[in-house]
């Protein structure tokens, strides 16, 4: 009875609290995703295409379609055979799915036609119809490197269906060449702070999880595909002569602006980054699967964390630490304690101390739970 | 005192301006009804690809002769700067940009909110319709070509090659199509929808929103929002408008200011001609008097 009263009193309150226009955690406006006033689980009334920057989920190349044949406008044009996968592979090296599918919900990637209405013109003023959306998307890159685009570069001439079929087979098998990345690049400099900068390219991309575009900004397809080759014949990156100090440091400074010169400059080639050497913290097996970002924040600059375990693993942050990874699953009696209660001084390399509470128990003969797994 | 015909006319015009006392108060000009729902077109030059399908569609819609649409794929014409003329009421020009792709700009009548051509026309052959179009009536035109001089964008073209009933030609905003709720021909055919047809007020909002969302893509300027008092056709661009063929230093005051004050000044209340005759009369009278005196003195040896 009491409980139901509490629920009755509380329910409207919680409803009110929940129904604020902005979700407090994400800063997103509810109306960006839901069209109705009170979305429910059974009727979430999700809008098709939220025109706000949403959380962008990266999908793998293989989760998209391989080939798409655009023949919606059959009466007027021959079908366009579009290798989605080939383009997705290119996007994967650059801006990701959102280079074409500009906005995304957490669900599957939306096809162009789910927002852009077929035919030309659209209900929403200024939003291109499907035809224009296709054209804009294709031409924006193709014009950059082809410098001209004839209709036939995409549209099969009518009556030329055999050609289209042949192309289809070829395209299906075609894969985009992987761009091979250097392990390291050594820059020779004239700086008196050290004549060399050893840059570990693969560590930055793989270990530190930087996307290509963070440094190679605006170097789209045209960088490799330009038929006039104007872009590629530019000075290669490793030659820094003739650039201002600011230009030389631009790519590095987006993260390393406040670092000492000696962090990068040296008179000899430096070794790759090693967590134990550079930070004094050895990454043992429990942390080795984590990405840098899971401890050091999501910003460009990694945030220094205290070596104290409690920084990340406090009991207030429920579920942030699963004790069973240590080989012991805590029983209910011990689950609520602070780490320090057993591991005095938060020293986890020492044997846990049972004597704080128990006179007759000691590690390892008495365990506060069951062996796991 | 020697007075040439030319300086007399100049004097008369000046007198007219003084009498009219500035353009804004000019009397007798056609009443300008500017509906809040007047239509316009937003041209996004960052989207335009220079396919010139609009040029073809315009000719088709106006029963003008044209080569087949495929021939418009030839981009050589984009090499030289063109203006709308007797053969094309709209043209696309290309300008270099800092990016790998050039900038293409469609040109046609801007359909000014306070059109210079309308006020320059002494017989009222030009008019601004409530829906936004500036149109021209062949029955009234006397072929004076004042509109051509007055237009700040050098749009109206004249059929010099036709001795009988030459016409003034310019974009008419496809009034025959829009009357049937169809879009202008150029807007409808554009394969990338670089042109958006809609209420001018809404288009300004759309344009502002695009600039807000993509500050790197656009210069913060909607050309035509304020120029010469506002135009029905609006432009967005990624480069300074002066560098992509738009006239410099037009200012935000309606262009008719000058032409209107001269025109209407000269003709208001028939005053200047009356004054002119009075002036001529007095000159004649004075000369007669002098002649009289001279002959009188001649008679006295
Ligand atoms: S652009 Fe020229 S022709 Fe067109 S309305 Fe304005 S003044 Fe008249």
Tens digit of pLDDT for each residue in A143-196? Answer: 887 777 777 777 776 555 655 666 667 767 777 766 667 788 888 888 888 888
CATH of domain B39-265: 3.30.70.20
CB atoms < 10 A from the CB of B104, how many?
A: 22
The protein residue with its alpha carbon nearest to ligand 1, atom 6, reads: B112
Q: Please give the Cα distance from B140 to B123 (Å, whole number).
A: 6
Residue A136 with chain B: CB contacts under 8 Å = 47, 192-193
- Distance of CA B201 from the midpoint of ligand 1 (Å): 19
Residue of B nearest to A52 (CA): B213
Predicted confidence (pLDDT) per residue in A15-30, tens digit: 433 444 544 445 566 7
Residue A319 or residue B179, greater confidence: B179
* Residue B134 pLDDT greater than 90, yes or no: yes
Pick the CATH number of A185-273 from 1.10.287, 3.90.10, 2.40.30, 2.60.40: 3.90.10
Q: Please give the Cα distance from A149 to B188 (Å, whole number).
A: 21
How many CA atoms does the CB half-sphere of A178 hold within 13 Å? 4
Closest CA to B29 of B266, B203, B211: B266
Burial of B54 (0-12, 13-18, 19+ CB in 10 A): buried
Q: Residue A309: which residues within 8 A CB-CB, separation 6 or more?
A: A339, A346, A348
Q: Whole-prediction pTM value?
A: 0.66
Is B80 in a helix, a strand, or coil?
Answer: coil
Q: Please give the Cα distance from A238 to A185 (Å, whole number).
A: 7
Q: What is the mean pLDDT of chain A?
A: 73
Predicted confidence (pLDDT) per residue in B136-149, tens digit: 988 888 888 899 99
**Top-level class of domain A61-172:** alpha beta
Residue B18 or residue B65, greater confidence: B65
* Residue A322 pLDDT greater than 80, yes or no: no
Segment A114-139 shows an average pLDDT of 81
* Residue B186 pLDDT greater than 90, yes or no: yes
* Residue B12 pLDDT greater than 80, yes or no: no
The closest-lying atom of ligand 1 relative to the alpha carbon of residue B128 is 5
Tokens standing for B205?
Answer: 């909002």
Quick one: chain B helix, strand, coil %, rounded to 5? 40, 15, 50
A160-173 in b/e form (b: 16+ CB < 10 A) is: eeeebeeeeeebee
Q: Please give the Cα distance from B134 to B88 (Å, whole number).
A: 17
ipTM tops 0.85: no
Contact B191 A129 (CB under 8 A): no
Residue-level pLDDT at A183: 83
Residue A100 or residue B61, greater confidence: B61
Residue A317 or residue A112, greater confidence: A112
Q: Could you tell me if the CB of B52 is within 6 A of ligand 1?
A: no
* Residue B43 pLDDT greater than 90, yes or no: yes
Residue-level pLDDT at A316: 53
Q: At what angle do helices B271-298 and B5-20 cross, to 10 degrees?
A: 140
Where in chain A are the domains? 2-48, 61-172, 185-273, 314-371
Strands (E), B166-298: 168-169, 195-199, 233-236
B102 CB near a chain A CB, below 8 Å? no
Predicted confidence (pLDDT) per residue in A189-229, tens digit: 888 888 888 889 888 888 887 877 777 765 666 666 766 65
Segment A52-76 shows an average pLDDT of 72
Segment A301-328 shows an average pLDDT of 70
């Amino acid at each position: 009875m009491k409980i139901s009263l509490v629920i009755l009193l509380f329910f409207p309150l919680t409803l009110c609290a929940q129904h604020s226009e902005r979700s407090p955690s994400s800063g997103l406006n509810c109306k960006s995703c839901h069209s109705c006033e009170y979305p429910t689980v059974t009727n979430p009334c999700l809008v098709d295409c939220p025109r706000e920057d949403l959380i962008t989920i990266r999908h793998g190349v293989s989760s998209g379609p391989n080939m798409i044949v655009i023949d919606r406008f059959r009466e007027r044009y021959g079908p366009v055979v579009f290798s989605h996968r080939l383009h997705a592979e290119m996007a994967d090296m650059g801006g990701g799915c959102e280079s074409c599918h500009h906005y995304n919900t957490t669900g599957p990637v939306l096809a162009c036609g789910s927002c852009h209405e077929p035919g030309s013109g659209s209900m929403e003023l200024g939003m291109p119809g499907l035809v224009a959306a296709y054209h804009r998307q294709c031409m924006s890159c193709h014009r950059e490197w082809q410098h001209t685009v004839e209709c036939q570069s995409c549209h099969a001439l009518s009556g030329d269906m055999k050609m289209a079929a042949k192309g289809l087979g070829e395209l299906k098998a075609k894969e985009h060449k992987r761009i091979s990345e250097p392990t390291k690049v050594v820059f020779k400099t004239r700086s008196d702070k050290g004549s060399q900068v050893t840059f570990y390219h693969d560590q930055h991309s793989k270990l530190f999880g930087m996307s290509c575009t963070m440094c190679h900004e605006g170097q789209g397809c045209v960088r490799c595909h330009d038929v006039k080759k104007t872009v590629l014949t530019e000075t290669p990156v490793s030659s820094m002569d003739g650039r201002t100090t600011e230009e030389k440091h631009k790519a590095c400074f987006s993260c390393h602006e406040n670092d000492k010169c000696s962090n990068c400059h040296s008179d000899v080639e430096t070794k790759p980054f090693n967590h134990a050497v550079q930070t004094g913290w050895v990454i043992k097996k429990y942390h080795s699967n984590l990405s840098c970002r899971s401890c050091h924040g999501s910003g460009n600059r990694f945030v220094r964390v205290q070596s104290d375990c409690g920084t990340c693993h406090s009991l207030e942050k429920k579920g942030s630490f699963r004790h069973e990874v240590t080989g012991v699953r805590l029983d209910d009696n011990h689950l609520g304690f602070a780490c320090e209660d057993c591991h005095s001084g938060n020293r986890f390399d020492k044997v846990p101390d049972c004597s704080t509470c128990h006179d007759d128990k000691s590690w390892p003969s008495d365990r506060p739970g069951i062996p796991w797994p | 005192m020697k007075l040439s015909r030319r300086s007399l006319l100049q004097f008369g015009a000046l007198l007219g301006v003084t009498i009219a006392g500035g353009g804004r108060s000019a009397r007798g000009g056609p009443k300008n009804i500017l509906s809040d729902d007047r239509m316009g077109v937003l041209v996004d030059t960052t989207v335009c690809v220079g396919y010139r399908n609009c040029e073809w569609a315009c000719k088709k819609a106006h029963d003008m002769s044209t080569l087949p649409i495929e021939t418009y794929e030839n981009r050589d014409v984009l090499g030289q700067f063109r203006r709308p003329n007797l053969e094309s009421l709209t043209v696309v020009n290309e300008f270099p940009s800092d990016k790998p792709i050039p900038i293409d700009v469609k040109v046609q009548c801007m359909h000014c909110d306070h059109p210079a051509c309308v006020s320059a026309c002494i017989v009222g052959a030009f008019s601004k319709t409530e829906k936004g179009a500036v149109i021209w009536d062949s029955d009234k035109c006397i072929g004076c070509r004042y509109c051509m001089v007055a237009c700040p964008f050098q749009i109206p073209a004249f059929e010099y090659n036709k001795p009988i009933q030459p016409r003034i030609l310019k974009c008419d905003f496809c009034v025959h199509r829009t009357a049937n709720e169809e879009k202008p021909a150029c807007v409808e055919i554009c394969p990338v929808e670089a042109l958006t047809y809609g209420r001018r007020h809404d288009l300004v909002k759309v344009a502002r929103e695009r600039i807000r969302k993509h500050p790197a893509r656009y210069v913060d300027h909607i050309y035509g929002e304020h120029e010469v008092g506002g135009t029905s056709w609006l432009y967005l661009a990624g480069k300074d408008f002066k560098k992509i063929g738009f006239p410099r230093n037009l200012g935000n005051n309606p262009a008719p200011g000058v032409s209107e004050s001269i025109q209407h000044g000269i003709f208001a209340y028939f005053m200047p001609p009356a004054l002119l005759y009075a002036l001529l009369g007095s000159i004649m009278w004075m000369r007669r008097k002098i002649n009289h005196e001279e002959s009188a003195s001649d008679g006295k040896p």
